[in-house]
Chain A
Amino acid sequence: MSGQAITETRILPVDRPFRFESGRTLERIDIAYETYGCLNERRDNAILIEHALSGDAHAAFYHEGDKKPGWWDCMIGPGKAFDTDRYFVICSNVIGGCKGTTGPASIDPATGSPYGLTFPTLTIRDMVEVQRILLKHLGIDRLKCIAGGSMGGMQTLQFFCDYPSQFESFICIASAMKHSAQQIAFNEVGRRAIMADPRWNNGNYYGDISPEGGLSVARMIGHITYISEKMMQEKFGRIRKDKDSKAIFKPSFEVEHYLDYQGVSFVKRFDANSYLYITDAIDNFDLMASISSKERFRGQGRDRGVNFSDLRTKKGLVISFSSDWLYPSSQSKEIVRLFSALNVQVSYTDITTEHGHDAFLTDYRRPSELIRGFLSSLG
């Protein structure tokens, strides 16, 4: 493609208190976001993209001087699944993250030092509420679609159920209504790896060396769960990188180098405390419980949809991947069952791929066709 589209992450400063679902409040927050394409005159062509655990606001196009585009550039752009010639696409960094939106690494104005573990407990619903502030700022109250994969799918479902009148449709990819014991277990091992690193120091490591060892182990575990056993075998097998090395326990297998690389590159761009907060929010997410609880209308939730009859005219697309063992197809089918019961016109497809959970970022051909077709059918 000639002439790469350049973008930059913008910051929306919100100088009024934000109340978390836990009841705790931050006096002010920043929201980092990017937009692609143009909002039309009727302001009805907006699509909100939700990122996953390690994602950020930079979903598409290139930042000045960067060699790599945003994390979902294969799906967002002119003529792509989320066609920026037709739609106004928005993506923001989640609260609790570390890519511009306020998170544990941000400075607490009250103390002048980073929040660390004084940052409030985080939920998926908190992430959604912060994005509502952004949408209000952008002057958008109705969206064509909300879409996301993995944790992005959780935000999608939460947002869609809490404010059904704001959306025409949703697309939920490789996600779940709640984590299974196995999914919680993997996240817990990741968190323990971080907390077992002495440099973590109860979350007070800012200005010093961060718990890089722990965070990279957490990321390595993550990467094992993101790809299928078959693909890992095909990619690495038992190939050794440095056969002649005599050093004991030094990574020598190709797969060890791959994981090491993933871990090391992750610690350069991600904050360990954010990893703890966000994985905790994911593990505690339970869509059914959250939409049926009385807490639904507390705090920021006064405008939440009173009943689900609003969902009757809505459309949904749920996509799973055949080799995704972290978020198996059965969890996507559960989502379909719930939304069918709520009378949403929901379609489901299980895409055959060897890419495992990572397919939502890497195996984009079939999902692109489906998403393009789905969005066009909305008119």
Chain B
Amino acid sequence: MYKISAENYPIIEEWIPPQSRVLDLGCGDGSLLSSLISKKQVDGIGVEISHEMVLQCVQKGICVYQADIDKDLSEWADSSFDCVILNATLQVITKPYKVIDEMLRVGRFAIISISNFGYLRNRIRVLSQGRVSSRIRLSETWHDTPVLRFVSLKEFESSLREMGIEIMEARYFFPLNFISKVQWPVYNLLAKEGIFKLRRLQ
């Protein structure tokens, strides 16, 4: 499964208050939750669709719920979590608006990270090679990759505004491990990834 590296974990840890109740959507092998449990003593539950990943969570002692994020979020009551995380998973979801909406119903705030399709390297690849994604490897071509959504940071941010969602905090990941809070004029061209802390506008 497509996964951003753990380099945004410190940001997520910074944004989550100790002992929060956390729901991690698309939790994979549970490594983010493990880290949040040990560093922030959170009470965490992961949601994961893949059996192999669920098994890895269970082996780690992480509480995991096998479900399809696109369908099953309605099972949780309003505000049953402090924070709902969607880390590097937005790209594989069929109904992103609905899921983001549900995240802010189930949790008081949400954390979403995305990789930036507007990033320079992606633009060059599209122009020069005519291919949408370098993530598409030999074994994973356009029709069977889990990645369904190609979105730039700018597009994503304007969608959030449209949905009445406030960006409480944002971090942009540039090459050479440079992380910025500031929307530089060319951030949509130069940032590889972004991560956002969100809540519904009152």
Give A contacts to B, CB under 8 Å: 315, 317, 333, 336-337, 340, 345-352, 366, 369-370, 373-374, 376-378
Min distance, Cβ B152 to any Cβ of chain A, angstroms: 36
Report yes or no: B58 in contact with A373, Cβ–Cβ below 8 A: yes
Chain A CB within 8 A of B103 CB: no
Contacts A333-B75, A337-B75: A349 and B61 contacting too (C-beta < 8 A)?
Answer: no
Q: Which of B50-82 contact A (CB under 8 A)?
A: 51, 54-55, 57-67, 75
Name which of A347, A369, A377 has the most chain B CB atoms within 10 A of its CB: A347
Give the residue name and chain of the A residue nearest to B72 (CB): A333
Contacts A333-B75, A337-B75: A349 and B54 contacting too (C-beta < 8 A)?
Answer: yes
Report yes or no: A336 in contact with B65, Cβ–Cβ below 8 A: yes
Contacts A333-B75, A337-B75, A370-B58: A347 and B51 contacting too (C-beta < 8 A)?
Answer: no
Report yes or no: A348 in contact with B66, Cβ–Cβ below 8 A: yes
Give B contacts to A, CB under 8 Å: 45, 51, 54-55, 57-67, 75
Report yes or no: B58 in contact with A377, Cβ–Cβ below 8 A: yes
Give the residue name and chain of the A residue nearest to B46 (CB): A347
Q: Could you pull out 17 A-B pairs where Cβ atoms are within 8 angstroms? A: A315-B63, A317-B58, A336-B65, A346-B63, A347-B57, A347-B58, A347-B62, A347-B64, A348-B65, A349-B54, A349-B66, A352-B51, A369-B55, A373-B59, A374-B58, A376-B59, A377-B61
Q: How far is the CA of A315 from the CA of B59 in the complex (A)?
A: 13
Complex interface: chain A residues within 8 A of B75 (CB): 333, 337
Complex interface: chain B residues within 8 A of A350 (CB): 66
Known contacts A336-B65, A347-B58; 14 additional CB pairs below 8 A are A317-B58, A337-B75, A340-B45, A346-B63, A347-B64, A349-B58, A349-B66, A350-B66, A351-B51, A369-B55, A373-B59, A377-B58, A377-B61, A378-B61
Min distance, Cβ A316 to any Cβ of chain B, angstroms: 9
Report yes or no: B65 in contact with A366, Cβ–Cβ below 8 A: no
Min distance, Cβ A352 to any Cβ of chain B, angstroms: 7
Complex interface: chain B residues within 8 A of A345 (CB): 63
Q: How far is the CA of A351 from the CA of B62 in the complex (A)?
A: 18
Complex interface: chain A residues within 8 A of B62 (CB): 347
Report yes or no: A366 in contact with B63, Cβ–Cβ below 8 A: no
Min distance, Cβ A146 to any Cβ of chain B, angstroms: 17
Contacts A337-B75, A366-B51, A373-B55: A347 and B60 contacting too (C-beta < 8 A)?
Answer: no
Q: How far is the CA of A265 from the CA of B1 in the complex (A)?
A: 48
Q: How far is the CA of A376 from the CA of B55 in the complex (A)?
A: 12
Q: How far is the CA of A352 from the CA of B64 in the complex (A)?
A: 17
Q: How far is the CA of A369 from the CA of B53 in the complex (A)?
A: 12
**Ordered nearest first, which 10 A-B pairs have the shortest CB separation?**
A377-B61, A373-B59, A349-B66, A345-B63, A373-B58, A348-B65, A347-B64, A374-B58, A349-B54, A347-B63
Report yes or no: A377 in contact with B66, Cβ–Cβ below 8 A: no
Complex interface: chain B residues within 8 A of A366 (CB): 51, 55
Report yes or no: B51 in contact with A349, Cβ–Cβ below 8 A: yes
Complex interface: chain B residues within 8 A of A376 (CB): 59
Give the residue name and chain of the A residue nearest to B45 (CB): A340
Report yes or no: A370 in contact with B63, Cβ–Cβ below 8 A: no
Min distance, Cβ A177 to any Cβ of chain B, angstroms: 15
Give the residue name and chain of the B residue nearest to A320 (CB): B66
Report yes or no: A377 in contact with B63, Cβ–Cβ below 8 A: no
Complex interface: chain B residues within 8 A of A340 (CB): 45
Complex interface: chain A residues within 8 A of B54 (CB): 347, 349, 370
Complex interface: chain A residues within 8 A of B61 (CB): 315, 377-378
Give the residue name and chain of the A residue nearest to B61 (CB): A377
Give the residue name and chain of the B residue nearest to A372 (CB): B59
Min distance, Cβ B158 to any Cβ of chain A, angstroms: 36
